[in-house]
Amino acid sequence: MSSSDLTDQLTTELDEMLRSADEELVDRFPGDAAARQPVHTVYVPADAFSDELITQWGAAAREALTEHEALLAGLLGEGGRDVLPLVADKLEREPIEDLRIDFEDGYGNRGDDQEDADVVAAAAALARLQQSGPGKAPPFTGIRFKSFEGPTRARGVRTLVGFVSALLEAGGTLDGFVVTFPKVTSVDQVEAMVRAAERIEQAHGLDAGSLRFEIQVETPQSILGPDGSALVAPMIHAGQGRVTALHYGTYDYSAFCGIPAPYQSMEHPVADQAKLVMQAAAAGTGVRLSDGSTNILPLGSEHEVTAGYALHLRLVRRSLERGYYQGWDLHPSQLPSRFAATYAFYRENFPAAAQRLRNYLGQAGGNVMDEPATARTLADLVVRGLDCGALRPEEVQEATGVRVDELMALARPRRG
């Protein structure tokens, strides 16, 4: 048999042998989602939400930025003052990228009558916000409801069903809408959430897959199952394409692990271990990652404000450097530091990333020999900077020599 004949025959055999594995790889690991990822999620108690909240938070955040501009510039270091005008523009234009109306820990137990009333009121307010015109509502919204653990399951289902029903009845939409599924402890709960989503869609005549959810990883059972396996990976796939993100829950997770309250933090070793497992589980699935929050706010005395902003700037930067491009914010005063740290990160890394992309795409050489995978991450960094407003399309095209749509295709290729 000739070498050519053997090659053809063996290729045919292997294609048949690996057909199922090839199809499963494309189905389970399609690549990163092409859509924009928000840089943060803002959580507000349901009874505090109104259709004026975005305006109110934006005004409060701009006031905080004006009051503490010199402090933030000093904490950011070189180039800090160049970033802050961009932050001011962002706070005017889009102070909140992703909003979560909270019926869980941030809301508490108010009794069924009160929660039912707040469900209807919040849904109506969100519908009004969605209908108020382009750019008025955040591009991403949703709710967090109580968990599917036995004691809270009925209340969680009641809120989920009630909110979606009230939102649609008020003329709202599920475009950009996602629900946060908290305190997940088993793959069975994810399968139950899929069932709930299917039934809600059927009841309202919605397209299959319209109701999507993010898994909140805030219990050790999500990371390590009773058999020693990392359950967060099968949880993603049990979601049948509905899972949009994994969100780390700083305080619940560390409390479950027995970490003393003064040491609970996004940067505690138990947090890093959990987030590394989440990162590996989500890689290639199109499911995004979000870090948690810090409950230390830049409020109070001058010393407390300085310490609060220094901490938040550092934690946001730390998450970005580790590939966690999103986090939680709990107060308007955190918005200036969220966007300042994010914008500084992208603008600081942009010149070198642009030059490396230009060299790679133009095969011009240089002092770094980048591989295709690294070129993809360089393009992704630039695209993320564009998505959040840290970079402008014209400066990106000039620096890279590549159109924005071409960068998008390079940054987020799909398998299959």
- For 71-105, the pLDDT digits (tens) are 999 999 987 888 999 999 999 999 999 999 999 99
Residue 291: pLDDT over 90:
yes
415 pLDDT tier (thresholds 50, 70, 90): confident
User: Where do the domains of the chain lie, and which CATH numbers do they carry?
Assistant: 40-342 (3.20.20.60)
Confidence label for 135 from pLDDT (cuts 50, 70 and 90): confident
| Rg (alpha carbons) of the chain, rounded to whole number | 23
Q: Give the pLDDT score at 370.
A: 66
Residues 27-40 have a mean pLDDT of: 93
pLDDT 10s digits, 320-359:
999 999 999 999 999 999 999 999 999 999 999 999 998 8
- Angle of helix 3-17 relative to helix 19-28, nearest 10 degrees? 50
pLDDT in tens, 347-392: 999 999 999 998 888 765 555 556 888 989 999 999 999 999 999 9
Counting Cα atoms < 13 Å in the Cβ hemisphere of 408 gives 10
Could you tell me the two tokens for 123?
A: 């849904």
Provide mean pLDDT across the span 192-221. Answer: 97
Helix, strand or coil, per DSSP, at residue 167: helix
Tell me how far CA of residue 70 lies from CA of 28, 67, 297, in angstroms. Answer: 48, 8, 18
User: Is the Cβ–Cβ distance between 297 and 330 less than 8 Å?
Assistant: yes
**Residue at token pair 């003393």:** 260
Percentage of the chain lying above the pLDDT 70 cut = 98
Q: Which residue is associated with the tokens 């869980």?
A: 104
Q: What is the pLDDT of residue 33?
A: 87
pTM score: 0.94
